[in-house]
Amino acid sequence: MTAQYSSQDKEVPLESLGESAPRQARDLLALWWQFADGNMPTRDDFTPDNLSSWINDISIYEYHPDKDDFQILLEGENIVALTGEDWRGAFAREVDCHFSTSLHAALSMARTTGQPQLHQLQVFQKEWRKGIRLLLPVVLKKEGQEDVLQVFLAIFPMSEMMS
């Protein structure tokens, strides 16, 4: 029988990433802060070259104000491998409905504060696995158009000894 977990058990907010957090998570967060410089980083800061170390660990969510929801534009290969699912094209609220999570709320917090959101989470599809999730907001500047907010979601599995 599968254990039932609340969204609070599945997604535990963190104030910071300690030394026990995966090195890749700490390095990606440091990169975000490097480009932040008092403002939200732009999508131009987060080029494939700059993200080469994490490119397979990142999903890109784009905010749609008309729906007040975030659409998954890209699913990182390592995230698909970890979860066994590819939600590309879906919206955050669909993920929440399917897994009883609060992804939309966490993405909204990143959008409204312009600050990274950090969570230790239970991998929704594999209850025995834990990971660190980063939600990193960036602005996609479009010349002659309204800027678009995107959130880079990254998940890094924690070793069993750390969980």
- Sequence letter at residue 15: E
Asked if pLDDT for residue 138 goes beyond 70, the answer is yes
CATH for the stretch 22-35+56-157: 3.30.450.20
Residue 152 backbone dihedrals phi, psi, to 5 degrees: -90, 120
Cα gap 56→127, rounded to integer Å: 22
> CA torsion 35→37→38→39, rounded to 10°?
-30
Q: Give the ranges where 73-130 is alpha helix by DSSP (H).
A: 77-83, 92-99, 103-113
Share of the chain above pLDDT 70, in %: 88
Query: pLDDT at position 124, please?
Result: 57
Of residues 2 and 150, more confidently modeled: 150
Predicted confidence band at 78 (pLDDT cuts at 50, 70, 90)?
Answer: very high
Work out the mean pLDDT of the chain and round it to a whole number.
87
Helix, strand or coil for residue 53?
coil
Query: pLDDT at position 128, please?
Result: 55
Asked if pLDDT for residue 163 goes beyond 80, the answer is no
Q: Are 36 and 28 in contact (CB under 8 A)?
A: no
Over residues 110-130, the pLDDT tens digits come to 999 999 999 998 865 556 578
Asked if pLDDT for residue 84 goes beyond 80, the answer is yes
